[in-house]
Chains A and B, each alone.
Chain A
Amino acid sequence: MNILRSSVFRSICRVETMILILMLMMPVVIVFMLIGSYSILHFLLPSAAIFTTLRMLMVISLANHLAEASAASPYFNESKNWFLMQCVIEAVALMLNVSMIVLKNTFMRIPHTRYFLMIGGYLVYLVAQQLFTCFAKDRLLRGFCAVWYFCGDDPVQGKGVRVTFLLQIMSSILYAALVAFITLFPSLTMIAYGLVGAAVFMLLLVQFRITMHARKTALLLAALSE
């Protein structure tokens, strides 16, 4: 067990923090567009595309570190595979996004394609993405638990990990359901935005907790190696 390499977990912690900072931008952009004079639908597609791409690159970087950490626990390898599956889904969505922009700008109107992509494809993408995220984070948290146990940490501490996972599941369901609702019923109300805000806040909370778990793992390993 190549458990003494705390540097790998420090890298994981760093990437998780960067993802958290990136996710912090999302509610800021939404609020800015709500209070500003810009049309939200005009800016939603490009900002979502940029956000997805940057997050995808971060997740791939995280997968590289998880591959390194897989020597410590096989859960990290499983987590890496689920994260990569999530990236594939996001890449396909991105490619469709770019294709849609090109097609739309050329033909100026593509009602059927657009309708299908927005209503059908987008919902499938959203559910699959949240499902894969849940699987990936579940394995990641189990991996952290395995390392803590190896380091002689109190097993009761695993309770915190279970809370994180429950929050993740709740936020995923809330986020997917609400975004689907907004997509299906574009005549939005401020309440719907508020609920989406709550879901995003929960996602941020989960991300923050995972960052803290990664930090704790790195500290435990550093202490053990000393």
Chain B
Amino acid sequence: MSAANAVSITLMIAGIPMLIPALMPLFRKQYDRRVFLIAASAVLHLVATLYAISIGISACNPDATGIGWLMFMLSFLIGLCAGVTLLCAAFCESDGKIRFGNRKTPIPVLMLGCVILPVLLASIGQHFYPEINLVQYGFSLSILLTYLCFRREAGVQIETKAADLELRQAKLLTEQIQPHFIFNVLMSIQNLCYQDADAAADCIAQFAGYLRGNMAALTADNLIPFEAELEHIRTYEALEHACTDQPFVLEYEIAADDFEIPALTVQPIVENAIKHGALSRRDGAGKALLKTERIGQCIKITVSDNGNVSENLTAQQKTHQSIGLKNVENRLAVQCGGTLNISLNPDGAKVTILIPEKGAISRADNYR
């Protein structure tokens, strides 16, 4: 084995540890398509490198026809595929689609530089020292730098998402503190003051509790126990009873309550079910139902009502979601990987929330 061959093999072996960070996500359960593409590129490059090392060790002459030539061409083509895969990873957007033009986000120039420049510089080095195989090492460096660049970008995305979440929470607070609701409660309390001072005092305490629950939601970064959300729902129900003359019933079928959810996710849905469902019935038979159950690895929360849903609704109207519900859906998805589904039937509306039981996908995992 010549000295140049030995240096080439040493460099190729030195490049293999650089692939480890890019390969690690393959052993995790959650990764997005960009990470997968980088890892796939690392696997292909690893195969190409092993081929090249075996060629170097066996000292096959690729110039001659036969197995040496075949192995070299195989290694070259696999390496080329790895390069194309890495370029695809650079052009892959956060939604997993590979776009060149008409992108939602700018083309990552830094990441492209990380993909191209090390290979280019290595190939130029090889141009001046043809005996030493530098391209394999350069490509290993490319994969490592691309992966690090991706991690950095993912970190920035997490920060952006966290800022977005804060904004959503602020919007949520604005939506929750509705002036007309506050006005109705205060007017009801005023009436109660003349009729029953003790009841008025209870109502004020409940109203304070309701406002405190809303305020706490703004500062809650993490999930809260379902019992706390349930308590907030009961406070809201009591206030609604105090403020409206129209009777309604809110039934509870709580089969599971030992899980966590994002703050103020079920209460706005219950509020919708009462205001637009149960209270829409003029016959006084308005009813809403809050039900929780454990199904497999999921917690299913169902809020249904027997309100009047017009049969003349269009498909678009049936699938329409208010800003509040959209907000709830987004927070469920971001904070605990949950889903929200709404169905409108002639005999009432039904909202179903599904949350993974171990609550429990952290925000960071979603974007890793």
Give min CB distance, B264 to chain A, whole Å. Answer: 35
Given contacts A50-B124, A60-B112, whether A99 and B62 have CB atoms under 8 Å apart is no
Q: Which A residues between 101 and 153 are near B, CB-CB below 8 angstroms? A: 101-108
| B117 proximal to A (CB < 8 A) | yes
Given contacts A101-B123, A102-B123, contact A107 B112 (CB under 8 A): no
Residues in B111-162 with C-beta less than 8 Å from chain A: 112-113, 116-117, 119-121, 123-124, 126-128, 130, 135
**Given A63-B107, A64-B109, CB of A98 within 8 Å of CB of B62:** no
B116 touches A94 (CB 8 A): yes
Complex contact A99–B112 (CB within 8 A):
no
Q: Is the CB of B130 within 8 A of A105?
A: yes
One of A49, A64, A67, A107 near B120 (C-beta < 8 A): A49
What does the 1/0 interface line of A75-119 toward B look like (CB < 8 Å)?
A: 000001100100010010011011101111111100000000000
Report whether B103 and A67 are in contact in the complex, using a CB–CB cutoff of 8 Å: yes
Q: Is A61 an interface residue (CB 8 A)?
A: yes
Cβ A60 vs Cβ B107 within 8 A: yes
When the two chains form their complex, are residues A94 and B120 in contact, meaning their CB atoms are under 8 A apart? Answer: yes
Contacts of A60 on B, CB cut-off 8 Å? 107, 109, 112
* A98-B117 CB under 8 A given contacts A49-B124, A81-B101: no
Minimal Cβ-Cβ distance residue in B for A107: B63
CB of B80 within 8 Å of the partner chain: yes
Complex contacts, A17 vs chain B, CB 8 Å: none
Greatest chain B CB density within 10 A among A49, A53, A98 is at A98
Tell me which residues from 38 to 58 in chain B have a Cβ below 8 Å from any Cβ of chain A: none
A residues near B119, Cβ cutoff 8 Å: 98
B80 CB contacts on chain A under 8 angstroms = 95, 99
- A103, B109: Cβ atoms under 8 Å? no
Nearest CB on A from B17, distance (A): 23
Of A56, A98, A106, A107, which contacts B123 at CB under 8 A? A98
Q: Cβ of B124 and Cβ of A64 under 8 Å apart?
A: no
Asked if A103 and B76 sit within 8 Å, CB to CB, the answer is yes
Docked complex: A20-54 residues within 8 A CB-CB of B = 45-46, 49-50, 53
- Chain B residues positioned under 8 Å from A53 (CB to CB): 116-117, 120
B183 is an interface residue with CB less than 8 A from chain A: no
From known contacts A81-B101, A99-B80, infer whether A108 and B63 are also in contact, taking CB-CB under 8 Å: yes
> Using a Cβ–Cβ cut-off of 8 Å, how many residues does chain A contribute to the interface with B?
30
CA distance A179 to B132 in the complex (A): 31
B296 touches A (CB below 8 Å): no
- A61 engages B63 (CB within 8 Å): no
Give the distance to chain B from A102, nearest Cβ to Cβ, in Å. 6
Contact A61 B126 (CB under 8 A): no
Instruction: Please give me the residue from chain A that is nearest to B139 by CB atom.
Output: A98
Interface residue? A57 (CB, 8 A): yes
A102 and B76 within 8 A (CB): yes
Residues of B near A107 (CB, < 8 A) are 62-63
CB-based nearest A residue for B76: A102
A95-B79 Cα distance, complex, nearest whole Å: 12
Residues of B within 8 A of A81 (CB): 101
Inter-subunit contact A102/B103 (CB<8 Å): no
- Known contacts: A64-B109, A84-B101, A95-B83. The answer to whether A46 contacts B127 by CB under 8 A is yes
Contact of B126 among A64, A102, A108 (CB under 8 A): A102
Known: A106-B72, A107-B63. A98 touches B101 (CB 8 A): no
- Residues on B with C-beta less than 8 A from A50 are 120-121, 124
B103, closest chain A residue (CB): A67
- Which B residues form the contact surface with A (CB < 8 A)? 62-63, 72, 76, 80, 83, 87, 100-101, 103, 106-107, 109, 112-113, 116-117, 119-121, 123-124, 126-128, 130, 135
User: Would you list 26 pairs from A and B whose C-beta atoms are within 8 A, ordered by A residue?
Assistant: A49-B124, A50-B121, A53-B116, A53-B120, A57-B112, A57-B113, A60-B107, A60-B109, A60-B112, A63-B107, A64-B106, A67-B106, A81-B101, A88-B100, A91-B87, A94-B120, A98-B120, A98-B123, A99-B76, A99-B80, A101-B126, A101-B127, A103-B76, A105-B127, A105-B130, A107-B63
Known: A53-B120, A105-B126. 15 other contacts (CB 8 A): A46-B128, A49-B124, A50-B124, A57-B112, A57-B116, A61-B109, A64-B107, A84-B100, A101-B123, A101-B127, A101-B135, A102-B126, A105-B130, A106-B62, A107-B63
